[in-house]
Amino acid sequence: MSKIALQSLHLLNFATFENQEIIFGDHFNCIVGETGSGKSLILTAFMGLLGNKLDKKSVRRDADSAVIQGIFKGDSKSIQRLNEDGYPCEDDNIIIKRVIQQTGTSKTYVNGLICSSTYLNNFIREYVDLVGQFENQKLLSPEYQLQLLDIYAGTEEELRKYKSELSLYKELNLKLSDLKNRQSTQKEREEFLRYQLEEFDSANLSVDEERELQAKKDFAFNLEKNRSLFGELAQIAIHSENSISSYLPHCLKVLNSLKGVDPKLHQSFSDFKIHFEEFSDLLLENSQLLEVDSNIDEIMNRIDTYQKIKRKHGPDIEEVILKLENYRTELNELDNISPLILKIEKELKNSFKKCSDLAQMLHDKRELSAKKLAKLITQLIQSLNMEGATLDIRLERSETFLDTGITKVEFWTETNKGEGFYPIKQIASGGELSRILLCLRQVVANKDSISIFFFDEIDTGIGGETALKIGKLLSEISRSSQVISITHLPQIAHNADHIVLVSKDTMKINGDTRTLSTAKFYEGPARKQVIESMIAIGQDL
């Protein structure tokens, strides 16, 4: 499972924070401070790093822009994912930054590279869960509740097999639908294909013939000009009194009369005479071809056949031939479509049964685990001073295959005995909802991809012993995941490994009174002083 953890949050000109770096530990962090000191601003800034929209009012007065930057420590899987997506990391650090302009526009950066808010939201929300009175939780959706049930039930292998078979089932369905659509228009399509193939076959076209026809056309169009030029050439070479051939005997006589000259001269003339005689024979032969009348009408009619076929089927004869071969293949498939439909229908029937069996196995395992999980969560929430509360995980069967099987799930709860069960998302009390969600988180924390839990005011409406129990439960969750909680209660802060104390002061800047929030990080023995400065907790600790 992939994990990340928030190392620091840097706020520059963000609301009442001027230039503040807030450090976080890997385990249980509590954000404390007086009401209005700026604790909720830290949550707002953090939500901005998740891709949430930020208001231009968050830009500090007189500043051009506000900057929120979070440095997260990633593991090998999260780092690899960002590297593959084009946002390479340095070492194991993931740096996410939002810049908000005075105009309200903003830009998002991941590892120094600009990215969309949608990408950021999709990436970071896999690792972060916000639990708060005013925050819509993915934990409240039936889809995520089913995911939590599957995590608890350990259905990973069964779900993988079901999804694989469902993919095959859908593929077969599409293929069968396509075949039946083709079958419904089979007769018309077959007639069309046969007509096209017959037209092409009767034309008896080929790439070589088209080239030969073009060459013949070019030759025919230049016939008269070629005759004139050949005649002129024949006069010069062989036919007139002053032709080259008439001078050759005299040249040979003179050459033989020469004494003491290089023998190569005689050989050269002999070679010339032989080549000239060959040239004369070829000239006469080609001159005779010119006397044959070319049937230009026949050639042009044949070329016109090629042009008509190409206008209909493709820009060149090679593509036409390829297209017609595809027609032959399709026609062959149509001839065999009925047996193919029977084959696919048989495969589809087998796949349907496999999907049904796998989905039923999943449903049965979920039903068994739902009872155990509901009982376990009920015990946990009752231990948090909700004695009359009961969780009921209700499952329904879908009539169709869903991407996750045939199971529909919804978490219901009764917060006061005898008052009836309601879907968990309809619970009015923020404190009760937070405690139920906290218990669910505790059960699956070490199995889920969520690795940062941000609890906003989880202590609303509680105190004393309940607060101590919640603090201990948060501490347990932080052993496997990072926990950040905004709290007013020292009972909860007492269990924290790290304290972030937020305070607010006013000061004069160039004669103008300004508000400035600051945040200081405490760990180890130093955190005890902060806890003691909170409301007295007596023997509760």
Q: What is the pLDDT of residue 537?
A: 44
Does residue 438 fall inside a structural domain?
A: no
Does residue 207 fall inside a structural domain?
A: yes
Convert the pLDDT of each residue in 295-338 to its tens digit.
777 778 888 888 888 888 778 888 888 888 888 888 877 777 78
The last residue of a domain, from among 335, 369, 398: 335
Res. 445 pLDDT band, cuts 50 70 90: low
Measure CA 41 to chain center: 33
Q: What is the pLDDT of residue 484?
A: 92
Identify the CATH number of the domain in which residue 479 sits.
3.40.50.300
Convert the pLDDT of each residue in 250-286 to its tens digit.
888 888 888 878 888 888 888 888 888 888 888 777 7
Q: Is the domain of 5 the same as that of 121?
A: yes
Res. 224 pLDDT band, cuts 50 70 90: low
Convert the pLDDT of each residue in 44-67 to its tens digit.
899 888 888 888 888 998 888 999
Q: Is the domain of 213 the same as that of 108?
A: no
Does residue 521 fall inside a structural domain?
A: yes
Of 88-102, 112-126, 461-475, give the lowest mean pLDDT range.
Answer: 461-475
Q: Is the domain of 121 the same as that of 203?
A: no
Convert the pLDDT of each residue in 451-510 to its tens digit.
888 888 677 667 778 888 888 888 888 888 889 999 888 888 888 999 999 999 988 777
Q: Is the domain of 93 the same as that of 3?
A: yes
CA dihedral angle for residue 150, residue 155, residue 157, residue 161, rounded to 10 degrees: -80
SS3 (DSSP) at 17 = strand
Q: Is the domain of 110 the same as that of 215?
A: no
Mean pLDDT of 65-76: 92
Distances (CA, A) of 124 to 115, 118, 370: 13, 10, 29
Mean pLDDT of 350-365: 95
Measured CA to CA, the distance from residue 457 to residue 471 in angstroms comes to 12
Q: Is the domain of 194 the same as that of 121?
A: no
Q: Is the domain of 76 the same as that of 198?
A: no
Q: Is the domain of 119 the same as that of 204?
A: no
Q: Is the domain of 227 the same as that of 328?
A: yes
Q: Of all helices (H) and strands (E), which one includes residue 328?
A: helix 317-335
Domain count, the chain: 2
- Token pair of 278, please? 């060959």
Q: What is the pLDDT of residue 368?
A: 94
Q: What is the pLDDT of residue 134?
A: 43
Query: Considering only CA atoms, which of 54, 58, 69 is closest in space to residue 106?
Result: 54
Q: Is the domain of 194 the same as that of 113?
A: no
Does residue 178 fall inside a structural domain?
A: no
The last residue of a domain, from among 281, 303, 335: 335
Query: Considering only CA atoms, which of 180, 158, 162, 181 is closest in space to residue 170?
Result: 162
Measured CA to CA, the distance from residue 175 to residue 82 in angstroms comes to 36
Measured CA to CA, the distance from residue 117 to residue 363 in angstroms comes to 37
Handedness of CA 258, 260, 261, 264 (dihedral sign): positive
Does residue 229 fall inside a structural domain?
A: yes
Query: Considering only CA atoms, which of 220, 241, 352 is closest in space to residue 290?
Result: 220
Q: Which residues contact 459 (CB under 8 A, 6 or more apart)?
A: 431, 467, 470, 487, 488, 489, 492
Does residue 152 fall inside a structural domain?
A: no
Domain of residue 218, residue span? 188-335
Does residue 150 fall inside a structural domain?
A: no
SS3 (DSSP) at 101 = strand
Q: Is the domain of 196 the same as that of 328?
A: yes
Measured CA to CA, the distance from residue 395 to residue 359 in angstroms comes to 13
Mean pLDDT of 416-434: 75
